[in-house]
Amino acid sequence: MPKIDQSELKKKDVLVLRRLRNGEIENVVFPNGLQAGLAKEGFNSGVKIPSTSTAPTDTEDRLYVINGQLYYDGSAVGGGGGGGAPTDAQYVVLTANGDLTSERVLTAGANITITDGGAGSTVTIAASAGGGDPDTETAILANQVLGG
């Protein structure tokens, strides 16, 4: 392939690379970047990438779609549309979250401690003695249950 001077390449809109033997297009290069649409209403139709059932032979540095899921460089990109947990389900959480609508915040009461080990770890709930007389507390509880 003949070499193109860099100053001439900066003037090219598109560079089409063809196979010498059969003239097939091997690659289309936009040497000065590529933009789809304009930042003005009515001029931004996005980029359409056709969805297929298999990946391209070479996935390195490639953006492609398989069965509606976007991939780049051999790995899925983003959540794929709707892959998250439902936001209206009932959850017990450590702090409230604005995206959830039915969560309950776990709060430590008297003589209770909650220790969060962080994402992917554990939450530990520990209780310490209340300082009262266990026999008296048991008797009060028994009277309440038995109606005495």
Q: What is the pLDDT of residues 19-69, one digit of tens each?
A: 999 999 988 888 888 877 788 888 877 788 888 899 999 999 889 999 888
Q: Is the pLDDT confidence value at 83 over 80?
A: no
Output the pLDDT for position 100.
Answer: 82
Using CA atoms, how far residue 46 sits from 55, 92, 95, in Å, is 22, 40, 38
pLDDT exceeding 70 applies to what percent of the chain? 82
Using CA atoms, how far residue 65 sits from 6, 114, 122, in Å, is 33, 44, 37
| Mean pLDDT within 105-124 | 86
Considering its fold, how many domains does the chain have in total? 3
**CA–CA separation, 120 and 98 (whole Å):** 21
Better-predicted residue by pLDDT, 138 or 29: 29
| Same-domain pairing of 74 and 92 | no
Output the pLDDT for position 82.
Answer: 54
Output the pLDDT for position 131.
Answer: 58
- 66 within domain boundaries: yes
- 105 within domain boundaries: yes
Residue 29: give the domain boundaries.
1-34
| Same-domain pairing of 92 and 75 | no
- 42 within domain boundaries: no
Q: Is the pLDDT confidence value at 118 over 50?
A: yes
Q: Is the pLDDT confidence value at 4 over 70?
A: yes
- Alpha helix stretches (DSSP H) within the chain: 6-9, 134-146
**CB of 50 closer than 8 Å to CB of 65:** yes
